[in-house]
Every structure is written in structure tokens, then in C-alpha cells.
A and B are shown apart, each in its own frame.
Chain A
Amino acid sequence: MTEEPYRWLEAIGNRREYVRDQLKGGSPVLAGCLADGILLLGVSRGLGKVFEIHDRHAMAGLGHPADLERIRQAAIDAAHLEAFTRAAEDVSLRRLVGFGLSAQLKQNFEQLFTAPVLGEFVFAELGTTPSRDLLVRVHFDGTYSVQMGGARVVAADPDEESTAQAALEQKWRDSLSLAEAAQQLLETWWLLQTQQTAKEPSPSLEERAAGWRTATAGAQIELGWLNRRSSRLVRYEVLDLNQLLPPPSP
């Protein structure tokens, strides 16, 4: 069937629809650049969503755990080979994604008789200042977009992602404290998870604060932190939400 252009287009369209359908209900992940580093956030039920890639690089993703693992491993392999054969400073997201992952994802997506990658991703690269931080949003079909600084939302539904992205961009400042940033990301996560991104009027501050607390009960909130102020080569740290945003006393 794929010899005919029309059938091929139809098959690709079906495949895209299939992937989006499989990703429905995936827990969103978010990343944001701050004065002291880049914060990545994911909410999971035991399986990881936020990962260290290299000294100044991290990723977060939603989708099938096996596919997240394939992409994570591919990124780690490429970054370590680059750092070993050249230098850690030569590991760059533009090259890692632009010349590596993106092409592999596209090829995988267009191979109709192989299982597609079920995942959506954001990669982060720590720069010397927030405006030099890089956030790369990578889609399951290999398309990607690059932004310097700011914050990035990754959700299964493209429309909800756009709405949440626009709302978060309006509020996001790199001068936010870590606690304030985590709070904003969690509120955005909750709005996406409960499909309230476009709700008018938007839920109040109190509703949002209570909302994400309730929605994350029993879940694991992963906070990855690329620390710009660290003197160590390895900048990635795992933060404890309870220390950043202690639960309200009963």
C-alpha cells in the first residue's frame, strides 16, 4: 500500500493519530530557566520522567517508559562519546538534537512497519546566564523547537500545551525563587492534568495550590535542578519538594 503516495500519506496520518491517542493521559512535564539554574519537573507513579544526561544537560519526557528509556539512553551515549572524544564543553543540545535525535526520531516515525516512539520530550542545557540557557522541545516525529531561556511545557495534547505555554510564559520570570518556580510549574501541571488550561475564569490561587497538592497525593514529584552556581563539573541535582514547598500544617 505504501507504494502509492496517497496511501503513504494516509498511513502516516494514521500513525500520528495512533501516537497521539496512545499519549493521551500522559502526565505533563515542564522546565524553566532561573537566575541560578534550570528546574525540570515531572509527576510520576514510580517510573522516572526527569533525567540527567550530562554535566550541563537534562531531559524530561512523557510517554511509554520503554521509549523514554530509548531516547534517554541514546542521548546519554551520544553526549558521553562527544565529551570523551572532544570535551564536555563540546556537548551541545543543538548538535545532540539537531544532528542526532531528531533525525533518528523522524526515521523511526516514517518507518511504517516498526513501532513508533511514544513520547514527547524537553531537553535543557545550562548556559552561563538564563538568557543563554537552551530548552529544546522534541516531538515524537522528530520535529523540534529551540528557545533561549524562559519556560517550556510538554503535554500530550498540542492545543492544551499551547494554551498552557502561553499562560506560563506570561507569568515566568528568571528572578523567581526556586520555591516560586516549583509552585508555578506544579500549578501549570495541575491545570493541564485537569484540562483547565482554557477555563474562564481561571481557578484562583488557592484552588491551584490545593489542586496540585491533592492531585499529586501518592505520586512522586521529580525535581531536577541544573545548578548554575555549583563549582562542580556535574551540575545536575535532585531536589526534594518537601524542602522547597513544605506541606501545609494540618
Chain B
Amino acid sequence: MSTPATPLAGDFVSLLQRSQMALPRMELGGDGPAITQATTVFAFRFAEGILMAGDRRATAGNIIVTDAVEKVVEIDDSSLLAIAGVPATAFEMARVLQTSFEYYRRSQLQPLSLPAKVRALARLLRENMPLALQGVGIVVPLFAGVDHTVSPAQPRIYFYDPLGAQFQAVNYAASGSGSGTIRSILAFQERHGSPKPVEMTLPEAVRFALRLLMTAAEFDSATGGVNPEAQLFATLKILRATGVETVTEEQQSAALAGTDHD
């Protein structure tokens, strides 16, 4: 109670530092064990908002560690993070962001703005630079948030480089080892397809996203893909101006089978 306020009001990282609980900084060198990696994630704009998707596979070298990773994380009710890279670092970043955004909202009695959220992730990436440069803690995330400065509020997509540079995507972004395939298909669909991604309804967008992952998995062994017969689906989340919704495995199954309703 008598302790001074955080140097930057509402900043949770400052609170951690003041409480001497700052995140440990690792210095690594030499050859280490194969690092677990998470791939492939993407986001695109559709008629109702933004769909953010990720396969469920994590690999370490040529080993499949698991096919049950959740790479699309709800940070708060108006932000999503998609993780590509080293999960150990990426999930910690997600946890810091979740706590930071809620801490700011509760302590300052107003939500953090979208530009501040985008920069908060950039700051974490910059702080992770030593590990990224050594190639053991690299994270290349995607971020989606709602811009409340325009009317009506609009969801937006951002992508980053490993050092923290942030870029706003117009209609889509992808990251991870399978992202080349995904970006190519998205570019083709946007230019020549019908419907274009931005015109798709929710069931169309879900089906399209699942097929994107299936195709990426054809060319990239680190991408888990989707296999309805094995009950293997993706993580799909929708960001609308009104909030976040998770697309369940039942909904994904129905979308692939064409038994959903457009």
C-alpha cells in the first residue's frame, strides 16, 4: 500500500520488475538439444471479422512432439495471438500479454488501445532478441485486435518479424514453416477466387481455413494438417468487433462435411 505506483501506470511488466519478479533472461551458447517448434498459423479477413487458425503440431527436429498444441490463444475479449516458433517462449509471451492487458484494464479502468497492445507484443519480441539471434527462442507471432477508434469498430491483423518489427496486414497474414503455401493460396483466392476470403460466410471461411491447413500439410512435414477421420482438427478462433468465438471441433467437422448451413 505504501509502495509507489508502477513507473508506468498500469504496466504489469513494471510491476513484475518492482516486485523483483522480472522474467529471467537466458544466455545460451553452443549446441543444445533440438528445440520444440510450433507451426503453422494464419489469419484472414472474412465477411464477419477475422478468422485466426493454427494446426496442432509441435516438432523438435524431425520428431513430432505432439499433435495437440493450441497455437491460437485468446489474450482478452478483443485480442488473439497466433504462435509460430518456440512454444516455451511464445506461451510465456502470451501469458505476459494476457496478464498485462487485464492488469491495465482493471487498474486504469479502461482497456488498452489496439496500438498499445500491438507494441506490447513488439516489446516482448525485442526483449527476446538475444535468444532469437541464437536461433533457440525464435517466435514469429500473428496478432489480431479490435480497433475501437473507427466506427464501427474493426478487427485488424498484425504480423511481426522475430526482432519485433510490427506490420499491419490488409487482409491476411501467415507465419511458420507452412506459411508459404498458405500465403500463396490466400493471394490466389483473393485475386482470382470466388468467393474472395473477405466475402466468405463463417461456414465458408471455416471450410477454407481447414483446407488451407490440409494443403500446407501436404508440403510441410511440420504442419499437422487436419484429418477428420482421426478426429484431428485445427484451432480456429473468430475475432469480431463484439468479441472472440472458438470454432468447435463439431463445427469444423460439419464445415468439412458440408452439413453446416451457410
Number of A-B residue pairs with CB-CB distance less than 8 Å in the complex they form: 45
Chain A 43-55: CB-based contact to B (< 8 A → 1; otherwise 0): 0000010011110
- What are the 7 tightest A-B residue pairs by CB atom distance, in nearest-first order? A104-B1, A74-B1, A84-B99, A80-B103, A76-B107, A52-B106, A76-B106
B187 an interface residue at 8 Å Cβ cutoff?
no
Is residue B153 contacting chain A, with contact meaning CB distance below 8 A?
no
Q: Could you tell me how many residues of chain A have their Cβ less than 8 Å away from some Cβ of chain B?
A: 23
Task: Confirm or deny: B2 has a beta carbon within 8 angstroms of a beta carbon on chain A.
Answer: yes
Extra contacts, 19 of them, besides A54-B106, A74-B1, A76-B103 (Cβ < 8 A), are A51-B106, A70-B1, A76-B107, A77-B15, A80-B15, A80-B103, A81-B19, A83-B99, A84-B12, A84-B95, A84-B96, A85-B21, A104-B1, A104-B2, A105-B1, A108-B1, A232-B77, A234-B77, A234-B102
Contact sample, A vs B, 17 pairs, CB 8 Å cutoff: A51-B106, A53-B106, A54-B106, A70-B1, A76-B103, A76-B106, A76-B107, A77-B107, A80-B15, A81-B16, A81-B21, A84-B12, A84-B21, A85-B21, A101-B1, A104-B1, A108-B1
A48 to chain B, nearest CB (A): 7
Chain B 158-177 near chain A by CB (<8 Å), digits 1 or 0: 00000000000000000000
Kindly state whether residue A176 has any CB partner on chain B within 8 Å: no
Q: Does B150 contact A (CB under 8 A)?
A: no
- A181 to chain B minimum Cβ distance, whole angstroms, is 24
Knowing A48-B109, A234-B77 touch, does A80 contact B102 (C-beta < 8 A)? Answer: yes
Instruction: Tell me which residues from 43 to 102 in chain A have a Cβ below 8 Å from any Cβ of chain B.
Output: 48, 51-54, 70-71, 73-74, 76-77, 80-81, 83-85, 101
- The reply to whether B2 and A80 contact each other, CB–CB distance below 8 Å, is no
Docked-complex contact A81 and B2, CB < 8 angstroms: no
Q: Which residues of B contact A117 (CB under 8 A)?
A: 1
Interface residues of B (CB under 8 A from A): 1-2, 5, 12, 15-16, 19, 21, 76-77, 95-96, 99, 102-103, 106-107, 109
A81 to B20, CA, bound (A): 11
By a CB distance below 8 angstroms, the chain A residues around B12 are 80, 84
Q: Which A residues touch B106, using CB under 8 A?
A: 51-54, 76, 80
- With A80-B102, A81-B16, A84-B99 already in contact, the answer to whether A73 and B107 are too (CB < 8 A) is yes
Please name the residue on chain B nearest to A71 by beta carbon. Answer: B1
B residues less than 8 Å from A85 (CB atoms): 21
Instruction: Name the residue of chain B whose CB is nearest to the CB of A67.
Output: B1
Residues of chain A within 8 A (CB-CB) of B102 are 80, 234
In the complex, residue of chain A having the shortest beta-carbon distance to the beta carbon of B18:
A77
Q: Which residues of B lie under 8 Å from residue A234 when comparing CB positions?
A: 76-77, 102
Docked CA distance A104–B3 (Å)? 11
Which of A51, A80, A83, A105 has its CB near the most chain B CB atoms (within 10 A)? A80
Q: In whole Å, how far is B9's beta carbon from the nearest beta carbon of chain A?
A: 10
What is the CA–CA distance of A51 and B105 in the complex, to the nearest angstrom? 11
A77 CA to B106 CA in the complex, in Å? 10
Residues from chain A with a CB closer than 8 A to the CB of B2 are: 104, 108
Chain B residue nearest in CB terms to A52: B106
